[in-house]
Amino acid sequence: MHTNLILVLCGLAVVGFACQWLAWRLKLPAILFLLGTGILVGPLLGWLDPDAVFGQLLTPIVSVAVAVILFEGSLTLKLGEIRGHGSVVRNLVSVGVFVSWASGMLAASLILGWDIYLAALFGAVVTVSGPTVVMPLLRAVRPTANVSSILRWESILIDPIGAILALLVFDVIISLQADNGLGHVAVALVTIVAVGTLLGVVGGYLFGLAIRNRVIPDLLRDYAALAAVLTVFGVAETARAESGFLAVTIMGVWLANMRQVDLADILEFKESLALLLLGGLFILLAAKLDIEAMAGIGVGAIAILIVLQLVAGPLRAFFSAAGSPLSWREILYVGWVFPRGVVAAAVAC
């Protein structure tokens, strides 16, 4: 078992690199090759069973990896980039989330015939996109600077919001089925937001001060950044489950916008680390796919995908960008670029 685990860990790194190199050579999104490889070695060939290999450690490993990826993405979010378009980003992660949720819920209920509870939970899970798939698309297509900034901000901010929404919807479903009051759901929301925001701001501010005042030597800056984000994530999750993603996202945004804080070397290190984690995560999560369950849904799954991509996506964009200086072509592009990333898969698992 020990030897098998070593082989799996080393194999994930090597195969993840090979998939991303191939994507670079062919100028295609890496997610296509990563997901294809995961499905091939998992449900098709049976070479990799993540649950059997990692057991109870799988969920914590996925959560920690996602936290690092979100932190790396949030370090690139400069407030100056969305000057004049901040309202669009705000609407995308509020009004847009509601539109996506309602669209996903209705599609699952009408097309698949799911009951309203399961449909509502599905709708909440698919509200997130994520930088893991949006960033490669932006590098390949290269839209205008305004559109690129809006999509980067949305893809990073919407991940913790979608994860929290999925948790709250699940809590509401459990409460309704048990005939309990919904007061604890409101308390849970306030607690998650408060803990995540507080720890994110404090963690970002203190680490920024340490960098600004050169408390940390250059040799240890990358290590210190990783230790800091893991500390904030771990403390947040311990204080209130599901607040960790919000905490590390806010921490990254805070650091990115602090004055006189040089993050160039940390960004380079985090980008390399995020690529490593991204490759392993997509392969692992794809290897968990239940082919028989997918086949059971049949054409319904394709119909759901079409509705989410061609109806829900553009609707959320047009509602969110109403009155903005974006052209209708830019709004439509924002609506169509709404792939589901690793956070959606992690929450679903």
Note down pLDDT in tens along the chain; length 349 residues. 455 778 888 888 999 999 989 988 887 778 889 889 999 998 888 888 888 888 888 888 888 988 888 888 888 888 877 777 778 888 998 899 999 999 999 999 998 888 888 899 888 888 887 777 777 777 767 777 788 888 888 888 888 888 888 888 888 888 777 666 667 778 888 999 999 999 999 999 999 999 988 898 888 888 899 999 999 999 999 999 889 999 999 999 999 888 888 887 887 777 788 888 888 888 988 888 877 766 666 777 788 888 888 888 899 999 998 888 888 888 888 888 877 766 666 666 5
The span from the CA of 85 to the CA of 141, in Å, is 21
The span from the CA of 216 to the CA of 230, in Å, is 17
Contact, 228 vs 261, CB < 8 A? no
Counting Cβ atoms within 10 Å, is residue 197 exposed (0-12), middle (13-18) or buried (19+)?
middle
Name the one residue in this structure whose structure tokens are 């980003």. 89
Torsion angle, CA of 328/332/333/338, rounded to 10 degrees? 150
Q: What are phi and psi of 303, to 5 degrees?
A: -65, -40
Start-to-end CA distance of the chain, whole Å, equals 24
Residue 348 is predicted with a pLDDT of: 61
Other C-beta atoms closer than 10 Å to the C-beta of 191 total 16
Contact, 273 vs 226, CB < 8 A? yes
Taking CA 190 as the corner, what is the angle to CA 89 and CA 242, rounded to the nearest 5 degrees? Answer: 75
pTM of the model: 0.85
Structure tokens, 208: 């920024």
- Give me the count of residues in the chain: 349
Which residue from 228, 157, 164 is spatially nearest to 191, judged by alpha carbons?
164
Q: Which residues of 115-149 are buried (b: 16+ CB within 10 A; e: fewer)?
A: eebebbbbbbbbbbbbbbbbbbbbeeeebeebbbb
Residue 346 is predicted with a pLDDT of: 64
Structure tokens, 28: 């295609």
Residue 163 is predicted with a pLDDT of: 82
